[in-house]
Each structure stands twice: as C-alpha cells, then as structure tokens.
Amino acid sequence: MTRRRKTRRDFLASSAALAASAALMPRPAIAQAEPHVVVVGGGFAGASVARALKQLDPRLPVTLVEANRAFTACPFSNGVIAGLRDLSAQQFSYEKVVADGIVLAPGTANLVDTQARTLIVGDGVRLRYDRLVLAPGIDIRWDALPGYDLPAAERMPHAWKAGEQTLLLRRQLEAMEDGGLVVISAPANPFRCPPGPYERASLIAHYLKTKKPRSKLIILDAKDAFSKQRLFQNAWKELYPGLLEWVSLSMGGKVTAVEPATNTLVTDFGRHDAKVANVIPPQKAGRIAELAGVADRTGWCPIDPVTFESKLVPNIHVIGDATIAGGMPKSAFTANAQAKVCAAAVAKLLKGETPPEPKLINTCYSLVAPDYGIHVAGVYRPVNGVLTEIEGSGGVSKADAPRDVRAMEATFADSWFKTITSEVFG
C-alpha cells in the first residue's frame, strides 16, 4: 500500500470530521489537565496568543476555538477587490498552529459560564478554563443603519470581513459599465482598520482609472477627519484628479439610511444612486464578547492595559479588534502585539507572578496605488489605565517624499503582510 503525504485538503477534512464527532460527544466537560487556557478566535490576535503561550510554556495546555476551517485575512483584501490579487493569497490553514501542540476545537463559541469557568462550543461541547482569551474580532451592528441588514449586504456588500463579501464587491465592480458611480460609505470611529476605507477607495480608483476611466467614486463619510488624511488627499490629487471625491461629515457625508432595492445611500443632504455601493457599517466586538459579559454599552470591551484582562469579568482576557485599547487603532499589527503582551501576562498570572508594564507598537501601511505606499506608526504604554501613544514615538510617512520612496513603502507593505502571516500561521 502506498502512503500519501497529507494535503491541506486532508487537514481541513479531518478538522471537519473532528467537528462532526465533537457534535456527537456526550455533554459533560472534556477532561483537561490544569491549568488550561482556552482561546476563542483564530485570527491575528487569537492564533498569535495561542502560539505565544505555547512558546512561553510548551507544557501548558492551550485550546483554540475557531468557527472557520481556514482563516481569511483582511489586510491586502482591498487588493483583491481591485483585481490586483486572488482571494487565495489571503487564506491560511491552522496546520502549523496545530503542529505547535495547540488543540484546535472547530466550532463557534456560544456561551461562557463565568462561575463554572466553562465555555460552550457548538451545540454543547464544554471546555473548562483557568484563563479564557477572547479574540473574536468584530461583528456588524445590524441595527445601526436603517435599511442595512443581512439581505442588504448581499446587494450592497460591506466586505469588512474578508471572504465571500470581498469577492462579491470585486464582481460588482467588474460587472459595472464604464461611466458608473461607485459609492463607499465610511463609518464614525471606532471601527476596524481606520485607514482601510481610504485605502479601498484608492485601489478602487486605481481600478477605475485603468479599466473604466469615465467612472466616478464618492466616499460618504461620517467623520470630518481620518487616518493619514493629508497623505491620502495629496495622493488622490496627484493620481486620481476628478475621479475620487471625499464628502466629510460637515459637508453632508454621513449616510443615515440605505435602500438596497435601488442601491441608494441616503444622507441628510441628498440621495446617491450608486451602480456599486460599498457600505462599511458601524461595528462592535464579536458577539461572544457580549455573551460573556465583557462588552460594555459601547459594544466594545474595556481591558486592563497591562494584562488585557477584562475590566468586567475576571479570568477573561480580550485582545484584538474587540478591545477598547485607548489610542491603539484596530489593526492586525496591534492584534498581534496585544497577543504577545497578553500571553506573557497570562503565563505570569498562572504562576502567581505580577506581569510587567508593557510597551506596544503599531505600524499600518496603506496602498494608494500598487506602487504607492504610506504608513502610520506609534508606540503605546499604559497611562492611568489607558493605552496611550508615547509622545514623539511614531508618525506618518513624509508628506513631500518622492515617488521612489512611495514605491519602496509599497514593497515594505508587501513584506509586512508576508512576515506577519508567516509568523501567525506559517
């Protein structure tokens, strides 16, 4: 009999089989060695914290609960929308995470019994924890924008969680005739990836300029200011004059309702009938945060900035986009940095030791065109219980940098994506 090497498909199939058998398991809690750390969410924050914990203490049992069989990354997904790369370049398996000795529990975490320190996965598998780390990313606030519900998102995609929505928006742009109007609506703060809507607008503008030059793009914004604003706006003047228009909050940019039947975005000042409408709606922490009681009335999760332990429920830590992290923006870089700090703190707390005060870095690149990159960076530390940017620690790309520097920053962006995804999933 010949033996075949295991392929990615085999791995995913065995994860599915595991999920199916888990669903058939009797309901009592799975027997676990103590202490045990359970992580919910295998994205930039969750996969990073699980792997960092294993690196710090290879004997510590760590279970990672993840709803999807493979991870689809948002960074660089704007390139997929603009036809510059395939969605497969965004997808990563959990093979290497499992190879580290982390137990992958496929399924959706539905409930947390904080008294019994037990997490319920799927239709009843129970996982006991000593420390629970929640890294569920974001959910859409489906009740925040009149007219925008799940069926509306099939007509007016948000594409703010990468995957099918990303492809839907790309297909709509490809199907649009030259001369069409594309409208992006950008939400008020806070939301996932503050520069993301403007990078998306830039790359869609690049697509229109090269493929459908009679078309127009409008950004309707619920804000008067945005990340890397001067750099974006200077680049738009240079690269996309007459093609891309930004309408700020005070100029009537806030979208107050949508009408999916006609692809219409409504503001207090008028109506915009789009050929392609990309609605980036208001957001909140992933639903499990609310179910666990760690989200406050804002929908996000207050945390201790030294340990990332919830300020509302003991023994539960929250990292990544779901947190209220003071000045730190919601980015994959931030999620990875928070994961490392949280892992070090959890390892110390399990030994009864006091975690030291951390410093965390964020750097965020954006592409304004395939060969035109810009960045923002900052270093943060806890000040009076809030993660605060250290004065003078960061900044943005130089406003008057020549084009070869912009081109170099575009290659840095590409290297950053390769480095972080290979650190987290490779």
Ligand X SMILES: Cc1cc2nc3c(=O)[nH]c(=O)nc-3n(C[C@H](O)[C@H](O)[C@H](O)COP(=O)(O)OP(=O)(O)OC[C@H]3O[C@@H](n4cnc5c(N)ncnc54)[C@H](O)[C@@H]3O)c2cc1C
Burial of residue 58, with CB atoms counted within 10 A of its CB: 0-12 exposed, 13-18 middle, 19 or more buried: exposed
**39 vs 259, which CB is nearer to ligand X?**
39
Q: Cβ distance 272 to 183 under 8 Å?
A: yes
- CA-CA distance, 139 to 27, in Å (whole number)? 28
Choose between 109 and 247: whose C-beta lies nearer to ligand X.
109
- Pick between residue 51 and residue 259 the one whose CB is nearest to ligand X: 51
Least separation in angstroms between CB 226 and ligand X: 14
Which residue is it, tokens 């058939």?
24
Write down the least CB distance from residue 174 to ligand X, Å.
18
Packing angle of the helix pair 229-239, 196-211 (nearest 10 deg): 0
The sign of the CA dihedral 355, 285, 114, 39 is negative
- d(C-alpha 312, C-alpha 54), whole Å: 27
Q: What is the number of the residue whose Cβ is closest to ligand X? A: 43
* CB-nearer residue toward ligand X: 106 or 355: 106
Q: Tell the smallest beta-carbon distance from residue 123 to ligand X (Å).
A: 13
Question: 414: which DSSP letter?
Answer: H
Using alpha carbons, select from 47, 77, 74 the residue that is nearest to residue 63: 47
- Minimum distance between the CB of residue 4 and ligand X, rounded to whole angstroms? 29
Question: Min. distance of Cβ 77 from ligand X in angstroms?
Answer: 5
Is there a contact between 321 and 338 (Cβ–Cβ < 8 Å)?
A: no
CB of 345 to ligand X, least distance (A): 17
CB of 278 to ligand X, least distance (A): 10
Look up tokens 């890397």; give the residue. 228
**From CA 422, how far away is CA 426, in angstroms rounded?**
4
Q: Is 139 or 259 the residue whose CB approaches ligand X more closely?
A: 139
CA-CA distance, 152 to 158, in Å (whole number)? 10
Helix segments in 131-227, DSSP class H: 150-155, 164-175, 196-211
Contact footprint for ligand X (CB under 6 A): 40-46, 65-68, 71, 74-75, 77-78, 108-109, 135-137, 160, 192-193, 196, 200, 286, 288, 320-321, 330-333, 335, 364-365
Whichever of 136 and 190 has its CB closer to ligand X, that residue is 136
Amino acid 267 reads: T
The residue among 259 and 280 lying less far from ligand X, judged by its C-beta, is: 280
